[in-house]
Amino acid sequence: MKVRSITIPELHHFKDLHLDLTYPAGHPKAGKALDKVCIIGQSGTGKTTLLKLISAISYNGYSYSEIGSMDQICQVSLDFEFEDFIVSKFIDFDDESDPEKKIVSSYWNDFYRNGEEIEFESIESKWEAYLDAIKPTSIFFPADLDYKLEVEHDSLLDLQELKNIDFSSYSAANTWTIILNEIQKYQEEEIKIRQEISHIAEKATDIKAIQKAVKKLEKWRHETPSPVQGIADKCLDPLLKNFGLRVKTKLDFQGKDDIGFLKIEDFSGNEVPNGLLSTGTKQVMLSALPLYLLQPSKCQILYDEPERSLYPDLQRTIIDYYQSLTTDCQFFFSTHSPIIASSFEPWEIVELKFDKNWNIYRDLYYEGENHVENYFVDPRYLDYDLILKKIFDLADTSTDMRTEAIVELTMLKNQIDTLKEKGQLKTPKAKEIVTRYKVLAQKLAWKTE
């Protein structure tokens, strides 16, 4: 189920805001909901509020109170598409329940199929079956993700049982429960085969019997990779290698309670204590691992400031990477990073701005009809300097010193050319100018053209 549009009549700085979140005409997916959305804007323009609204109205109604009063939130509606249906949804207090308890319910405005309005009853069963089949339906990663890696086995949540996963309410390390049992079973199986080998070795006089038992262990290992090996190969090692680290795949615990959380080691095999892992490493682990282990499909995934603590090289790859861990999910990212924004098509960017009355509006990147041909800004064609200027509206990206150096360098080059024409390049004056030119050009990284 993907969000096609959001309509906010009035909420904080939002007034009569309508966000179209579908691909424009001329796009291969024209008219379909966007696969990923990048929300950018000055601090205070409501990026995080928008993420929370989407989460609350989609599936997570009980969390509305973080956003505002129900009087305002009940006016906000989201259009969704699932299969070939389009539905409009809002949340409000259940008017049949006890007013004191204030139970939040979902309400449906309109249903469409192939552009024709239809009755809810005609698709109710399909709708319920659809929702039942999806678990989780939404995953929210807040900007202030809990970086705690220590897990207490008694209080771990079973995230696979939750419809809505909100990591602002509990640690992403809870994802570890998903693999805990698998690791224990794996370890028990290995111990069992090892015991068999020991047993044979005690009794057997035939070396071939021992070799056969050892081969059995090797075959089992080959055919049954460690659950941690999968995390290492398919999820975390491609990212951790940027920090000179990898997942420790060798399991050396005695019982379930001894498993703890994922262990990280350097390339020499030295285990790195959790307390010494950088925030960037933890950010990578705790933002990617849940997607790998939960294997979300047709789910909404919301990241607030995914760039946190990540060096630019990782920021450049992280969006595609998150998508690669999921199936047919819709992603929402709120970011201040031009590097993150460069991963998006222009229609996938929602830039929020204040108008002169301090109300929020969306800065459109097209003129006339919403058609791919009418977009005049496309981050995929811009370098980071231009993304800062054209997307993030930064007027001045180069320093004044650089510009002045360019002027000086051009002047010096002209002087050298003049001296060359006059055959005076060997004079002390020429040498002085050439030296000055080279020193300055080096400071400009020879980016002089």
Partner 1 sequence: MRKIDKSLMLATRYKKWLDTLNEKNEKHTIYNSSNGKYYYDIVANLIWVQAGLCAYSERLLQEHSRFDPGNWTNGGFPRFQFSGQLDHYDATLKEQYGWSWDNFFVIDADINVKLKRTNIPTGLLKPDMPHYNPRVYLEYERTHHVFVPNRDLEFPVQEQVRKDISCLGINFQPIIDIRKYYLEPLFFDVEYQVRSRTQVQNHLYQFFTAFDLVADRL
Judged by beta carbon, residue 198 or residue 403, the one nearer partner 1 is 403
Judged by beta carbon, residue 120 or residue 376, the one nearer partner 1 is 376
CB of 396 to partner 1, least distance (A): 4
267 half-sphere exposure, CB direction, 13 A CA radius: 6
Residue 417 in contact with partner 1, rule: CB under 8 A: yes
CB of 21 to partner 1, least distance (A): 30
The three-state secondary structure class of 3 is strand
Residue 427 in contact with partner 1, rule: CB under 8 A: no
Question: Cβ distance 28 to 40 under 8 Å?
Answer: no
Residue 415 in contact with partner 1, rule: CB under 8 A: yes
Question: Cβ distance 12 to 76 under 8 Å?
Answer: no
Question: Cβ distance 393 to 49 under 8 Å?
Answer: no
Stretch that binds partner 1, among 144-152, 196-204, 212-220, 413-421 (CB under 8 A): 413-421
Instruction: Compute CA distances 258 → 169, 251, 380, 381, whole Å.
Output: 25, 10, 48, 51
Residue 408 in contact with partner 1, rule: CB under 8 A: yes
Stretch that binds partner 1, among 8-16, 34-42, 280-288, 407-415 (CB under 8 A): 407-415
Q: Which two structure tokens, joined as six digits, stand for 185?
A: 């079973």
Tokens 């973080």 map to which residue? Answer: 66
Instruction: Compute CA distances 313 → 92, 287, 291, 390, 426, whole Å.
Output: 44, 17, 21, 22, 46
Stretch that binds partner 1, among 37-45, 86-94, 196-204, 400-408 (CB under 8 A): 400-408
Residue 430 in contact with partner 1, rule: CB under 8 A: no
Judged by beta carbon, residue 122 or residue 414, the one nearer partner 1 is 414
CB of 449 to partner 1, least distance (A): 6
Question: Cβ distance 23 to 30 under 8 Å?
Answer: yes
Question: Cβ distance 300 to 54 under 8 Å?
Answer: yes
Alpha helix stretches (DSSP H) within 146-236: 177-203, 207-223, 227-230
Task: Give the Cα separation of 293 and 183 in Å (integer).
Answer: 13
Q: 215: alpha, beta or left, given left = phi > 0 and alpha = psi -120 to 50?
A: alpha
Stretch that binds partner 1, among 48-56, 82-90, 178-186, 403-411 (CB under 8 A): 403-411
CB of 364 to partner 1, least distance (A): 19
Cβ neighbours, 10 Å, residue 439: 9
CA dihedral 106, 112, 113, 118 (to 10 degrees): 90
Task: Give the Cα separation of 378 and 366 in Å (integer).
Answer: 10
Residue 395 in contact with partner 1, rule: CB under 8 A: yes
The three-state secondary structure class of 84 is coil
Cβ neighbours, 10 Å, residue 330: 25
Task: Give the Cα separation of 48 and 38 in Å (integer).
Answer: 12
Question: Cβ distance 434 to 417 under 8 Å?
Answer: no
Identify the residue among 192, 358, 404, 424 touching partner 1 (CB under 8 A).
Answer: 404
Judged by beta carbon, residue 222 or residue 426, the one nearer partner 1 is 426
Residue 441 in contact with partner 1, rule: CB under 8 A: no
Question: Cβ distance 274 to 111 under 8 Å?
Answer: no
CB of 448 to partner 1, least distance (A): 9
CB of 44 to partner 1, least distance (A): 24
CB of 390 to partner 1, least distance (A): 10
CB of 367 to partner 1, least distance (A): 16
Identify the residue among 397, 434, 440, 441 touching partner 1 (CB under 8 A).
Answer: 397
Identify the residue among 30, 103, 204, 411 touching partner 1 (CB under 8 A).
Answer: 411
Stretch that binds partner 1, among 33-41, 310-318, 348-356, 411-419 (CB under 8 A): 411-419
Judged by beta carbon, residue 306 or residue 338, the one nearer partner 1 is 338
Identify the residue among 406, 434, 440, 441 touching partner 1 (CB under 8 A).
Answer: 406
Judged by beta carbon, residue 373 or residue 404, the one nearer partner 1 is 404
Count of residues that interact with partner 1, criterion CB under 8 A: 18
DSSP 8-state class, residue 375: B
Identify the residue among 207, 400, 423, 445 touching partner 1 (CB under 8 A).
Answer: 400
Residue 436 in contact with partner 1, rule: CB under 8 A: no
Task: Give the Cα separation of 341 and 203 in Å (integer).
Answer: 66
CB of 353 to partner 1, least distance (A): 18
Identify the residue among 109, 403, 424, 427 touching partner 1 (CB under 8 A).
Answer: 403
Of 375-394, which residues contact partner 1 (CB under 8 A)? 389
Closest CA to 90 of 112, 75, 72, 111: 75
Residue 435 in contact with partner 1, rule: CB under 8 A: no
Binding footprint of partner 1 on the chain (CB under 8 A): 389, 395-398, 400, 403-404, 406-408, 410-411, 414-415, 417-418, 449
